[in-house]
Chains A and B, each alone.
Chain A
Amino acid sequence: MDAGNSRVRTTKAVLWFIVGFAIIVGAARFLTGLGTVTNLTDRTPWGLWVGFDVLGGVALAAGGFVIAASVYILRREKFRPLLRPAILTAFLGYAAVAAGLLVDLGRPWNIWRPMFFWQHHSALFEVAWCVMLYLSVLALEFAPVPLESSRFHRLTKALKSASLPLVILGIMLSTLHQSSLGTLFLIAPARVHPLWYTPLLPLLFFISAVALGMAMVVVESKASAWLYRKRPEDHVLSSLLRPLGFTLLLYAGIRIGDLVARGEGAGLFDGSWESALFWLETGLSSLLPAASALSGLARRSGKALFATGLMVVSGFVLHRIDVGGVSGVGLTDSGYFPSLFEISLSLGVVSGAILLFLFFVERYRVYDPEPAPARRPAACRAPLAAARAYSSVFVAGAAIAFALLPGGAVFGAKPLDMPVTGARRVLAVEKTRENPPGKMLVFAARGAAEAREVLLVDGNRSGEYALFDHEAHMKRQGEKESCGICHHLNRPNDRESSCFECHRDAWQPTDIFRHGAHIEATGGNRGCTECHVTPAAPKTRAATRPCRECHEDMVATGKREFVAPPAADSPFHAPGYMDAMHGTCRKCHEEEDRTKGVKVPELALCSTCHPEAVDLSPRPAGRKD
């Protein structure tokens, strides 16, 4: 193999760059969790990694069993030159599936469990066993290739003599597995669009895998020939066109016939984006390539042959992605689109597999050796030139990924930002509550006689509100003088600042100190020592003059200070809005209970203060959950 030509070098450089990027993303995923680098949610737990890497990877690996069956079972010896690359592709495809699964699983360290804890009713149990077994079988099938040039001659011989049983086992396992991935989605009808959901999914997955296996062999063989500037095996590949074409027609016939028979045919032409996606996918995967394969177009031209294979491959990978999630986006209203990091990790897994493929191709006899052409000796290259070039693009990819990662992926996940706004004035009436027993405020009906103005406290507008009788509290605590009990801190030039002005996020603490404003206010550099009184010490907040020494009116004064004023070494991080509200209301009521015997029932129950704690976020009509 001519591993030194510019095509190989450029391709490998691009692949190493992607692998470098993906390795950093993968490290961040394992160190800080799925949420920091993916757009996956509880509503869309399966995204690109399942659709593309797992489902697509398994399908792309189908070439292994298709060609092995043709050679060993059907005795089609002319396909033998395609056998080794097909088995290698299948092995690396399944290795990519295993890698994709590991990054996608929430708890990948439990991957061994299906081996010992058998759950016969689980579709994933069967999938897990098939992946493990078939990956092992493929490794054993391919092992003789690297081993034949080693000193393990007996082992190589033993493995070669076991190839027929291994091939039969492989065909059996992949038949099971290809179809069982379809079965997996039979148990999730609410997540798969009717144009894709059918009881025949296992059959469609299997037939498409057979076609995809043949197409993948075409694509991989043509791509290798282009890359290494070797003679393409068009005469052998062309023999695959007839069976490929008929398999594609069979697939398209069953697919469309099933939809019509089940009364879903109208959806094919309803103008929805799903119908457009269906035709794009079906046209790309089966209709166009079937026409090309059976009309002789692909047989006459090498480029058309490659295009035919590529259409089948991309069309069926799209099919797996559609079934795996895209078709269900409208049904689940997930609005999911994979993040840059999900896409890069998927590409990284594929790039890694291709690099391994090229490694095996260059080092071992994967392809039949060609007669060496008379060439002038290769130009003298610097030692380790390839390692130098590829490692530098790898470093570049990794560094760019590290720079682009969100803060949460580097320093650990934190809650999403959720800014809050001020309380609103609304009309409410008091009513008796049965459980827990007591009185509560509810929104007043229009024109209600006893309605009075209260505060609607729902800072982040999530619908989990509380109605708060501000006037009654003021009266009970001592009118104006009591404000400082709750409004414990004033913003500069303000009095009784509202809660949300400092507690600005629903969950997270807010930094309420503005350094830049203080630099300006104190007259630039010379003013630094006004706050940083010990210039030699590190300029931390703890080592800085307490704010109250300048802002004398910052801490509200009142009858009593219920919320403690910020300590001298306060970091000036206002607690999250919810913590501040709960901390103030509950603490005060518990104190009143203890000192005055004023009972407030069941403060531990959400419904005591949040009578209608329901999710009021927008929900489109027609959602099926």
Chain B
Amino acid sequence: MDAWLDFARGPAFRFALAVMVLGLLRHFALALLSVRAILRRAGDKTLPVTQIRKATLSWLFPVKKLGHHTLFAAASVLFHLGAIVAPLLLAAHVTLIEASTGLAWPALNPLAADILTLLAIGGLLVLFVVRIAKRAARDLSQRSDYGVLLLVLVPFVTGFLAAHPGLNPFPFTAVLLLHFLSADLLLFMFPFTKLVHVVLLPATQLVSEAAWRFDPDAGEKVAKALGKENQRI
């Protein structure tokens, strides 16, 4: 079992981390290149910067959306708060990173970490239920969307159980291994699933704003591609 633990927190973790970091950087760079290509093609120098900023911020802090989708927006905010803060500032994680790299930063109070973890788990479950219960959300969802939610759930639940052995009905080492492996899989999946929004959120606003600016002669090109030049479309 120790060999499996070493594998999960050694090579497997490094592989997943590298895929996540480089994969996300790749997505970000490609998004910027796409925007540049779009703008060049459109020949339009102006960008609706204000609209983009507003759209991005409105999703980062969806206060205004609380009126329409209260439960969804609240669960989303609480989940994101817990999911980002708890793993990064958990004392056990900080200690582990310091032991292997020498880098350290202040850690959360254990009680605060527990609360944030539970918020992340609770928020995630609400998001999952809302996605199933609401017809509009269900129609927009693919199978992978449910899968990603469940995948995010596993490391938080196993991490909480590992930190509280008294509440853990399963063998400690097995839970720890599952925690490592599920976290590895989660990191690995970042560039391949909708989790990629962590870097693409601002860029997608930019792309969608920019992409709707067509070439001045876009209509002629479409007609040519369809073989219907000089015809009425």
Contacts and interface: CB of A to CB of B under 8 A. Distances in A.
A44 interface: no
A388 B15 contact: no
Contact of B166 (A24, A396, A535, A539): A535
B11 A404 contact: yes
A540 interface: yes
Given A519-B172, A539-B92, A525 B165 contact: yes
Interface centre among B12, B33, B225 (most CB of A within 10 A): B33
Contact of B30 (A387, A524, A535, A539): A387
Interface in B77-134: 91-92, 95, 100-101, 107, 110-111, 114
A384 B34 contact: yes
A403 B95 contact: no
A402 B164 CA distance: 32
Given A403-B15, A516-B1, A537 B110 contact: yes
B171 A524 contact: yes
Given A383-B37, A384-B34, A535-B164, A402 B92 contact: no
A525 B166 contact: yes
A569 to B, nearest CB: 14
Most buried by B among A387, A395, A396, A516: A395
B43 interface: no
B201 interface: no
A402 B30 contact: no
Contact of B34 (A383, A516, A535): A383
B173 interface: yes
Contacts of B95: 538, 540
Contacts of B11: 403-404
Interface stretch (A97-105, A164-172, A405-413, A455-463): A405-413
A323 to B, nearest CB: 37
Nearest to B37: A383
Given A399-B15, A536-B110, A526 B166 contact: yes
A519 B1 CA distance: 13
Contact of A388 (B12, B30, B101): B30
A387 B28 CA distance: 13
A400 interface: yes
Contact of A395 (B26, B37, B168): B26
Interface string A1-39: 000000000000000000000001000000000000000
Name the residue among A383, A402, A516 with the largest chain B CB count within 10 angstroms: A402
A392 B23 CA distance: 7
A391 interface: yes
- From A405, A410, A516, A525, name the one whose CB has the most chain B CB atoms within 10 angstroms: A525
B197 interface: no
A387 B33 contact: yes
Nearest to B191: A395
- A396, A524, A526, A538: most-surrounded residue (chain B CB, <10 A): A538
Contacts of A391: 26, 29-30
A514 to B, nearest CB: 10
A162 interface: no
A380 interface: yes
Contacts of A396: 19
A399 B22 contact: yes
A403 B13 CA distance: 8
Contact of B91 (A403, A405, A538): A538
A159 to B, nearest CB: 31
A537 B191 CA distance: 34
B14 to A, nearest CB: 5
Nearest to B164: A535
B26 A528 contact: no
Contacts of A394: 22, 26
A30 B196 CA distance: 31
Contact of B2 (A404, A516, A539): A516
Given A383-B37, A395-B19, A519 B166 contact: no
* Most A CB within 10 A of own CB, among B23, B100, B165: B165
A517 to B, nearest CB: 11
Most chain A Cβ neighbours within 10 Å, of B22, B91, B164: B22
Contacts, number: 82
B225 A399 contact: no
A394 B23 CA distance: 10
A411 B15 contact: no
Nearest to B94: A538
A538 B172 contact: no
Contacts of B15: 399-400, 402-403
Contacts of B171: 524-525
A68 interface: no
B2 A411 contact: no
A252 interface: no
Contact of A525 (B37, B168, B225): B168
B30 A384 contact: yes
A528 B37 contact: no
A398 interface: yes
B176 to A, nearest CB: 10
Contacts of A519: 172-173
A529 interface: yes
B60 interface: no
A529 B29 CA distance: 49
A41 B169 CA distance: 52
B33 A402 contact: no
Contacts of B101: 411
A404 B172 CA distance: 28
A392 B29 CA distance: 12
Interface in A539-555: 539-540
A519 B22 CA distance: 38
Contact of A392 (B26, B164, B225): B26
Contact of B14 (A405, A524, A525, A539): A405
Given A519-B173, A535-B166, A384 B18 contact: no
Given A384-B37, A516-B173, A528 B165 contact: yes
Contacts of B114: 536
Q: 10 smallest A-B Cβ distances: which pairs?
A: A403-B15, A399-B18, A536-B110, A528-B165, A538-B91, A525-B165, A402-B18, A395-B22, A403-B11, A399-B19
Given A411-B101, A529-B165, A536-B110, 16 more contacts: A383-B37, A384-B37, A392-B26, A395-B26, A399-B19, A403-B11, A403-B12, A403-B14, A403-B18, A516-B2, A516-B173, A526-B165, A535-B164, A535-B166, A538-B91, A538-B92
Interface of A: 24, 380, 383-384, 387-388, 391-392, 394-396, 398-400, 402-405, 407, 410-411, 516, 519, 524-526, 528-529, 532, 535-540
Interface of B: 1-2, 10-12, 14-15, 17-19, 22-23, 26, 29-30, 33-34, 37, 91-92, 95, 100-101, 107, 110-111, 114, 164-166, 168-169, 171-173, 191, 225
5 contacts: A380-B225, A394-B22, A526-B166, A528-B166, A539-B92
